[in-house]
Amino acid sequence: MEERRGKPHAIMIAFPYQGHITPFTNLAIKLASSGFIVTFVHTEFVHHMLSQSNHNDSSTRVDFFSDARKSGLDMRYTTISDGFPMEFDRLLNLEEFWESMLRDFPVRVDELVGNIIQSDPSLVHFLIADTFYSWPARIAKKYNLVNVSFWTETSLVFSIAYHLELLKENDHFPPKDNSEDSINYIPGVQSISTKDLMSYCVEAIDTTTPEYRIVFGAFEEVKKADFILHNTVHELESETLLALDQKQPTYAIGPINFYDCTKSTAVADSLFLKSDCTEWLNSKPPGSVLYVSFGSMVQTNKEIIEEIAHGLLISEVNFIWIVRADIVSSNDTDVLPTEFKNDIKDKGLIIPWCNQKEVLSNPAVGGFITHCGWNSILESIWSGVPMICYPVTYDQPTNRKLVVDDWKIGINLCDGLSVTRVEVADKIKSLMSGETSYGLRQEITKMRKILRDAFKIDGSSERYFDQFLKDLKAKILV
């Protein structure tokens, strides 16, 4: 015990959704590989989902970090209840779930953090919590912990939400009938149209909803953080990051999703059982396959699914389509048009989930229809795959602006949410071949190099991570 006296110990708690879990687990391994002790906290429901998707018996206690620990890393693991039974549908009952996460979950976290600290008072404990939580500053203050906030989306989205008061002062929040107004007063953010703001900034605002209170409560709370980590690359969002750094210590350490975990330190991070597409992909010519996925949470309607299905058929392209059982509703799992699976023959593969990084990196994949979740965008850029953008909600419309308007590595599927099969087929053809495709591929090749260079030993993300460790140690080891 004595040799660990005074060692820094991170208590890490991710927001309980797929898009947050993956970067958090990779950050945990990276910290542990840098000599830190890490205790990683999942909700019991996330633990249950991870167990099921990785063929483990969820009735037994599985430690997802055991392999990392065997490799020599000091990784600890525990779980916490989110207050609901396993069978409770957290997507179908989103408001009830989020209300509990606001009201009851912080009490359980407070107790857990207190117990962790009490169990080993010789360590120098600090907190790394997801920015979307609205309690870290309170708990950090109570236990005298350094408070590190980890933001898993784009810095552009962070900055807009961070400067909510400026939107209010300029009469852009709550939203009015000004969908084409330009916003050019947020520090470090180039002019952006109000129509490109996050859904929670442009839709009718009810300040009593859990969504509003979670998002904007979190952005009041994050202003009290000691350090803020961003899962982005400095070169992609340099002006925004530099402006934010003037407010609080800010570090671009992404894309942390691609931290090079060895087999011995790999950690289960998928909430869904993955289908293996390798054999099917390897049977297709290079660049001939379109990958279609709307992420782990987006829900749409049968009409949209039907138009996309027919558009894929009309385009005659090879495709892999991720169709989750709950993509329309948890109560309606039969969403594809009649005979569609027969019509596609060997040209299409329909599966509920996959290893997206592996699929996008396969040479057969030449395009991606995406909902514009940030992890999906990073993974697409990393593999040099241009995108067709179909943003639905939350940060996705703002991410679309970066992909299509700023970086020019993707095109819009449609204007709004309604789409026709003809539009789908036409956009697929533009993406997969021709002049538009050539231009997109040139630009995304440049972006791919930027991302990969950032993760080299002397790259910007490695430098910022090293600087964060120095600044953190200077603050906690005094």
pLDDT by residue, tens only, the chain of 478 residues: 334 458 999 999 999 999 999 999 999 999 999 999 999 999 999 999 999 988 655 555 678 888 889 999 999 999 999 999 999 999 889 999 999 999 999 999 999 999 999 999 999 999 999 999 999 999 999 999 999 999 999 999 999 999 999 999 999 988 877 568 999 999 999 999 999 999 988 886 787 888 889 988 999 999 999 999 999 999 999 999 999 999 999 999 999 998 865 555 678 889 888 999 999 999 999 999 999 999 998 889 999 999 999 999 999 999 999 999 889 876 666 789 988 988 998 999 999 999 999 999 999 999 999 999 999 999 999 999 999 999 999 999 999 999 999 999 999 999 888 999 999 999 999 999 999 999 999 999 999 999 999 999 999 999 999 999 999 999 998 7
pLDDT at 3: 43
pLDDT at 341: 86
- Per-residue model confidence (pLDDT) at position 1: 34
Query: Which residue in 382, 392, 336 sits closest to 360, CA to CA?
Result: 382
Res 416: pLDDT: 85
Tell me the CA distances in angstroms from 416 to 7, 100, 320, 393, one per residue in order.
52, 32, 24, 11
> What is the residue whose two structure tokens read 């002062």?
169
Q: What is the CA radius of gyration of the chain?
A: 22
pLDDT at residue number 92: 86
**Is 118 exposed, middle or buried (CB count within 10 Å of its CB: 0-12, 13-18, 19+)?**
exposed
How far is it, in rounded angstroms, from Cα 95 to Cα 89? 11
Q: What angle do CA 293, 296, 298 make, to 5 degrees?
A: 80
Check: CB of residue 78 under 8 Å from CB of residue 44. no
Question: What's the half-sphere exposure (Cβ side, CA atoms, 13 Å) at 478?
Answer: 7
The predicted structure's pLDDT at residue 267: 84
43 contacts 60 by C-beta, under 8 angstroms: no
Instruction: Give, in order, the Cα–Cα distances in Å from 340 to each of 307, 331, 345, 349, 461.
Output: 12, 21, 9, 11, 45
Q: Work out the burial of residue 72: count CB atoms within 10 Å of its CB; fewer than 13 is exposed, 13-18 middle, 19 or more buried.
A: exposed
**171 — alpha (psi -120 to 50), left (phi > 0) or beta?**
left
Q: Residue 330's pLDDT is what? A: 60
What does CATH list as the number for 278-452? Answer: 3.40.50.2000
User: How far apart are alpha carbons 131 and 156 in whole angstroms?
Assistant: 14
Q: State the Cα–Cα distance between residues 44 and 46, nearest whole angstrom.
A: 5
DSSP-derived pairing of the beta strands 365-370 and 289-293: parallel
Instruction: Indicate where the chain has its CATH 3.40.50.2000 domain(s).
Output: 2-259+455-476, 278-452
For 433, residues 6+ apart whose C-beta sits below 8 A from its C-beta are none
The whole-number pLDDT of residue 265 equals: 66
Number of H helices, E strands in the chain: 20, 15
pTM of the model: 0.95
The answer to whether 139 touches 146, Cβ cutoff 8 Å, is no
Helices (H), 54-104: 66-70, 94-103
Q: Which fold has domain 2-259+455-476?
A: Rossmann fold (3.40.50)
